[in-house]
Structure 1
Amino acid sequence: MMKNQRVIEIMNKDPKCLEKSSPLKSVVELISAHRFSHVPVLSEGKLVGIVSKSDLINRFLQMLNQTSGKFYSKMLMEHIKVEDIMKADPITIHENDDIEYASELLLQGEFHSLIVLNDKDAVTGIVTAYDILKAKSQ
């Protein structure tokens, strides 16, 4: 690994984001189509949260325990909004921060990814624990 390697060098660039008012169905489709683990959530272009595969699994388990019938579950998928399951105010990192700092943040928290922002606080990428491990092993 190169010393002082920056987050921008290892992050997943141009992540697919969803608006907080998007239906839960949109998250499922996005994660399935692109094999993402995390999806940034925006409101009027600004980051307000993140949804992970774990969040989806937990919500589906709740739905299975609370509902009966395929129709009702499908209806919930149309009416539950992303903002209902997202984690608000996710920890972020700047794209020019050192990956050692990203490692420290991931080790301190109970999450597996960081949303990467630029100088204008726009989402420019996602860096995961896997990305950091891969960079350190090279």
Structure 2
Amino acid sequence: MGLHFIINGKEGAQDGEELSQGDFTNPLLFDGFYPAAGVTLYKGKTIFLRADEGEEYYLVQVEIRGANARKFYVANGVGSNYGMDYYGSSTNDSLNYGGIYYNRGGLLLGKVGDTNTPIKILALVNGNEDDSPDLTTKIYARSCYNGAS
């Protein structure tokens, strides 16, 4: 039983590769950032959340946590699932990038089944930062209810 984050898949399919869970064998990478000092760059990626075959989860909370979590945003609407975002009241907590509205904090999905449900994530990097990889920030999913009686 469980929920799994997937990369290199297609929406509505059961394909792709599962992200590693803590051992960094298959992490989510936002590479190719080389901003000049004082410049901030953004890069978006779509990953997927999927339940084990035959399972459904309701009210699924997706969060990005860690020392650098404020460098990541999640899109506030996901396909026909219409996820709901929750975040602080600061104007720095949301932005429009490429016509998609992103928010810091997390995302609440109404239902996740055994096919890929898309989640859009936006990362930022500032040219004043060092170039070492961030190994502290992780993405989490949990459900309030899995439909079992």
Q: Normalising by structure 2, what TM-score?
A: 0.24
Structure number with the higher helix fraction is 1
Choose 1 or 2 for highest CA Rg: 1
Structure number with the higher strand fraction is 2
